[in-house]
Structure 1
Amino acid sequence: MAASGDVKSINELRIFESIDDLATDLAEYIAQLSEVSVRERGFFTIALTGGSLISLMGKLSEAPYNKTVDWTKWYVFWADERAVAKNHVDSNYKLTKDGFLSKVSVLNSHIYSINENLTVEEAAREYEFMIRQLVKVRTIDVSESNDCPKFDLILLELGSDGHVASLFPHHISLQHKEDWVTYITDSPEPPPERITFTLPVINSASNIVMLGVGDEKAMVVKQVIDNLTNGLDVSLPAKMVSPSEGKLVWFLDKPSASFLNAKESKQDEI
């Protein structure tokens, strides 16, 4: 395990020599959280995004996890999704289904995707209503501080512009405090229409993984880590990720961490 950082906003920083090492540790980390959540609550609620995250979760579908993880207790959600058909190449659901869910035994009735037949605004409202129903029966836990849903794990991938989920820099969606799920119609990256968890929901999670992979992420990793270390401005969405009652763990490969200072990288390296 990497050493825990002494910065309040970063609970743990893990830097890996290779992508394979990162994927191996990520699988073990998720499996351990799943085991604890199932033992303590009877469920494991996990919210995903897209991108390279899904391929990095691939080791969970291999031995020993394909047999040892209690997949029937998993409830799967998306922290953001594109307003496209489920079989569209841009769909996070399709990416996750093809790359991960089709290889494990999560119950279809426990997989919660957006309604592709609605407008993006209607889809966001319906997704939030569905989450509220699951909070009522405590399938999804609830935050004591703000009554937001408290997912057992939210997995995020850091964008090269500092965005997370579909929360982009300087976008009005960053100001949404009352909604659990919101929508945008002007994403700076295609496709333009998306739904996304709001910051209060993300920050209410019991555990958050922030993934950074590749040298194109090195500058923004430095900007975000330096901010959390030095308390500078928080204009980047990734800088606003700071769980109120949970734990944030960064998973970085060597290229994405290459601009961090040597002392910081060395003390937390795996």
Structure 2
Amino acid sequence: MAVYVAKRDAMELRVHENVDVLSTNLADYISELSEASIKERGAFTLALSGASIVTLMGKLCESPYKRTVDWAKWYVFFADERAIAKNHADSTCKQLRDTLLAKVPIDHSHVYSINDSVPVEQAAKDYEFVIRQLVKTRVISASEIHDCPKFDLVLLEMGPDGNVASLFPNHSALDLEEEWVTYITDSPEPPPERITFTLPVINSASNVTVVVTGVNNAEAARMAIDHESAGVPARMVSPVKGKLVWFLETAAASKLQSVQFSE
């Protein structure tokens, strides 16, 4: 299973020969971070974004991870979510429940989904309140730099316009500095109403992983990684004191320039 690794500025790039290899190595990586976080502070806090991410995490339901991961100490959050009912087919929460939660013993009270019974603005406020309470009780660490939560891992997928979470190019949400969670009502992808972490929260994490698959995302990956466009949200992902790792498969990495990979 070929994996090619390179360093670019403060980021690490890992290119995988296909999506299956990427999924396996992503499971390895998450498992390692989980073990390290639990050993250090007794918990692993994961914030994820996107249905594709949930699918790629499916390997964690298999051996050896299903047996070796300390699932009881996981706390799961959503870096963004559609403002739809939790039982809707497009809900990331439902997809996570069907793909992972039904198969591994994560405590369901440790999975923090948005309030789907209120308007999206209130849902964002409610979600931020929940996170603030968990920082106070030290379930989530506090950032030493910003007044922000410090998640052990923020796991993002990148879209063809370079968006991460529900932070889209040229959107005013990219400029927010005080809020931890915000809302949008004009997503270019349906549905239009969503909640999302802000960049300061993403960039306060101990580890951030951006996952990119498919040739349709290759141009956006090039612009973000090769610094071709300041307007690409994925380029703005830069953990202040954390580690940034990009997981790409070969088609998504096909347009990268001036990157020297080693096997």
TM-score using structure 2 length: 0.96
Tell me the equivalent position of 1:76: 76
CA distance in 2, matches of 1:246, 1:26: 18
Tell me the equivalent position of 1:134: 134
Judge conservation of contact 1:162–1:237 (CA < 8 Å) in 2: yes
- For 2:240, give the aligned amino acid: S
Judge conservation of contact 2:5–2:15 (CA < 8 Å) in 1: no
Deviations 1:95-126 (A, max 9, x none): 11111221111101100000111110111001
Tell me the equivalent position of 1:217: 217
Tell me the equivalent position of 1:267: 261
Tell me the equivalent position of 2:238: 242
Structure 1: unaligned runs, 5 residues or longer: none
CA distance in 2, matches of 1:100, 1:14: 24
Judge conservation of contact 1:143–1:150 (CA < 8 Å) in 2: yes
CA distance in 2, matches of 1:213, 1:2: 15
Alignment partner of 1:226 is 2:234: no
Alignment partner of 1:7 is 2:3: no
- For 1:224, give the aligned amino acid: A
Alignment root-mean-square deviation, CA: 1.3
2:7 alignment partner, SS class: coil
2:51 alignment partner, SS class: coil
- Which of 240, 246, 254 is matched with 2:250 structurally? 254
CA distance in 2, matches of 1:172, 1:212: 24
Deviations 1:181-236 (A, max 9, x none): 00001111100100000000000000011000000011111111110xxxx65211
Moved more, 93-102 or 146-155: 93-102
CA distance in 2, matches of 1:159, 1:251: 14
CA distance in 2, matches of 1:3, 1:48: 23
Tell me the equivalent position of 1:203: 203
Equivalence map 1:175-190=2 (5 Å):
175-190=175-190
TM-score using structure 1 length: 0.94
Deviations 1:73-107 (A, max 9, x none): 00000000011001112211011111122111110
How far off is 1:6 after superposition?
Answer: 4.5
How far off is 1:155 after superposition?
Answer: 0.4
Judge conservation of contact 1:221–1:257 (CA < 8 Å) in 2: yes
Tell me the equivalent position of 1:42: 42
CA distance in 1, matches of 2:108, 2:54: 18
Cα 1:206/1:163, change in 2 over 3 Å: same
1:204 alignment partner, SS class: coil
2:98 alignment partner, SS class: helix
Cα 1:163/1:74, change in 2 over 3 Å: same
Number of aligned residue pairs: give it: 261
Regions of 4+ moved over 3 Å: 1-4
Sequence identity percentage: 57
CA distance in 2, matches of 1:233, 1:250: 18
2:166 alignment partner, SS class: coil
Structure 2: unaligned runs, 5 residues or longer: none
1:211 alignment partner, SS class: strand
How far off is 1:128 after superposition?
Answer: 0.2
- For 1:267, give the aligned amino acid: F
How far off is 1:51 after superposition?
Answer: 2.6
CA distance in 2, matches of 1:237, 1:6: 17
CA distance in 1, matches of 2:5, 2:18: 18
CA distance in 1, matches of 2:198, 2:179: 7
Judge conservation of contact 2:4–2:16 (CA < 8 Å) in 1: no
- For 1:184, give the aligned amino acid: I
